[in-house]
Structure 1
Amino acid sequence: MAPILKSKEECAKIRETGRIIAAILAELRSAVRPGITTAELDHLAAEALKRFGAKSGSLGYHGYPASICTSVNEEVVHGIPGPRVLQEGDIITLDLAASYQGWYADSAVTVPVGSVSAEAKRLLKVTEDALYRGIAAAQAGNRLHDISRAIQHHIEAAGYSLIREYGGHGIGRSMHEDPDVLNYVEPAYPNMRLRPGLVIAIEPMVLLGSEATRELDDGWTVVTADGRYAAHFEHTVAITDGNAEILTLGA
């Protein structure tokens, strides 16, 4: 299926959703501390979504049981909130997709729990920097591989690995639309030219050690095979006539 280009009015509607997501992630980030459970963070997200009149994109998606994904330490993506208690030195990814008045946006951030190691701090900085390098490459006239290449070069130059099974995606009326946005260059993969009106979620998922992962028995949580930390940052962006516009920023 060909990617669906959005009008400026439709991008504005996605931006409304993105601002709600940004506000909720800011609330959750402030709530992260040693002693809180991931279930408590999910409850805060559910209450905030209700307050904003928005709906979780993950709750009920193929049976997913929570409003957000909470991935701790070695968990890369799709961690299910539950009784896990956050400890000093942990890192946690808060991943929130939501819809408002029928339009979706998606964003994620990995945050420290209390004081974390220098190694963890560097992982978070490099991953977030990779996201913004990918966004900088998301310009009309460039191609999808330019985004992938910018992310891959930055991550591998830092000595880290990228998960291969998951990546970014188009977004709009549905949470996942064409095209897929890989975080590494796959020469055989379609390399479409970027055009104004394309809205995509860019989301590097970076591993401190090996790129090998496995899925837990819950059918959702993806963890690093070597048990080392992983980080994940994401924004929804619109391709414009100039620089890409980040739609998941606060007001």
Structure 2
Amino acid sequence: MILKNKNQIELMRAAGLLLYKAHIVAKEMIEPGITTAAIDAEVEKFILTNNAIPLFKGVQGKVPFPAACCMSVNEEIVHGIPSQRKLTDGDILSIDIGVRLNGWCSDCACTHAIGEIDTEKQKLMDVTEECLRLAIREIKPGLKWSKIAKEMAQYARSNSFSVVETLVGHGIGEGLWESPQIPNYHSRVLRDFKLKEGLVIAVEPMINAGVKNTQTLDDHWTIVTKDHKPSAHFEHTIAVTASGAQVLTCGPDGEGWAM
């Protein structure tokens, strides 16, 4: 666990604000008929123009991740690869972006409705966003993460949804992935920890309309729901302060999802 001082958190806030603006670039392009590749290209251009680095592009796996953004549609939970696929009315699109600015990282995600969506997808989005909002409300020094994770999972499950357990959030700072791991459910496997002032974490509930089980597609990146029912994903980079949570990836006036 690497704790940050106030100056370092200010630098991470600058990275987070730029990342929020990158998400707005994407949001303003979203409509039926647009391709995920077109959105990705504009976001990458925006990041590079602002002297930042798109963190996801080139991440090593069986094959390097080829894009600046993860674009996950409907049953795709995370790590969807942008393509010439056109978004259609009724889709939901989860966009996950990371940036490094002046040596400091930021990571956040948001799920969007494309045109008119059905009531199940809308409820799924609302519940997932509320899981993140719940965590932001509860974060404070001295509290065990497991308490917040239990509440997030209970809220999702009480709404007849399932919580992805094969993927978790993470610490973040000069590296994209730092200790500790941040599950969205109470884990008997992952080590519990107390929140400390100066800790910066990426909290990212991933909630499924159907079963929690997942599988990875042949592209080696895209993770989908086993039953092919839709999934939603909301994420913020959050600093733990003496007074509670400071969301680093919101807008200049504190606006944004789950705020």
Normalising by structure 2, report the TM-score: 0.95
Following superposition, the deviation at residue 163 of structure 1 comes to 0.9
Q: Tell me the SS of whatever aligns to 2:241.
A: coil
Give aligned pairs, total: 249
Q: Give the whole-Å Cα distance in 1 for the aligned partners of 2:98 and 2:166.
A: 19
Q: Is the 8 A contact 2:208 2:230 kept in 1?
A: yes
Which residue is 1:176 aligned to? 177
1:211 to partner: Cα distance: 0.7
Q: State the SS of the aligned residue for 1:149.
A: helix
Equivalent AA in structure 2 for residue 227 of structure 1: H
Residue of structure 2 equivalent to 1:108: 109
**Residue aligning to 1:5:** 3
Structural RMSD (CA): 0.8
The reply on whether 1:66 has 2:67 as its aligned counterpart is yes
Task: Name the CA distance, whole Å, in 2 between partners of 1:169 and 1:105.
Answer: 11
Do 2:5 and 2:198's aligned partners in 1 also have CA atoms closer than 8 Å?
A: yes
**Structure 1: how far apart are the matches of 2:85 and 2:25?**
19
Corresponding residue of 1:26: 24
- CA offset at residue 189 of structure 1? 2.7
Deviation for aligned residue 1:188? 4.0
CA distance in 2 between partners of 1:142 and 1:237 (Å): 15
TM-score normalised by L of structure 1: 0.97
Map of 1:204 onto structure 2? 205
Match of 1:136? 137
Identity in percent? 36
SS where residue 110 of structure 1 aligns? strand
**Which whole-Å CA distance do the structure 1 matches of 2:152 and 2:75 have between them?**
21
* Cα displacement (A) at 1:30: 1.4
Q: Residue 40 of structure 1 aligns to which amino acid in structure 2?
A: A
Q: Determine which of 50, 53, 57 is the counterpart of 1:52.
A: 50
Distance 1:145 1:137 in 2: 11
Query: In the alignment, does 2:86 pair up with 1:85?
Result: yes
Corresponding letter in the other structure for 1:81 = P
Q: 2-side partners of 1:192 and 1:120: how far apart?
A: 33
The one-letter amino acid of 2:187's match is E
Q: Deviations over 1:196-231 (max 9, x none)?
A: 000000000000001111100010000011111000
Structure 1 residue ranges (4+ consecutive) displaced by more than 3 angstroms after TM superposition: none
CA distance in structure 2 between the aligned counterparts of 1:65 and 1:151, rounded to whole angstroms: 32
d(CA) in 2 for partners of 1:144, 1:52: 35
- Letter aligned with residue 91 of structure 1: I
Deviation for aligned residue 1:119: 1.2
Higher mean alpha-carbon deviation, 229-238 vs 41-50, is at 41-50
Q: Which runs of 5+ in 2 are unaligned?
A: 253-259
Amino acid at match of 1:165: T
Give the C-alpha shift of residue 150 in structure 1: 2.1
1:105 positional shift: 0.6
Alignment-derived partner of residue 215 in structure 2:
214
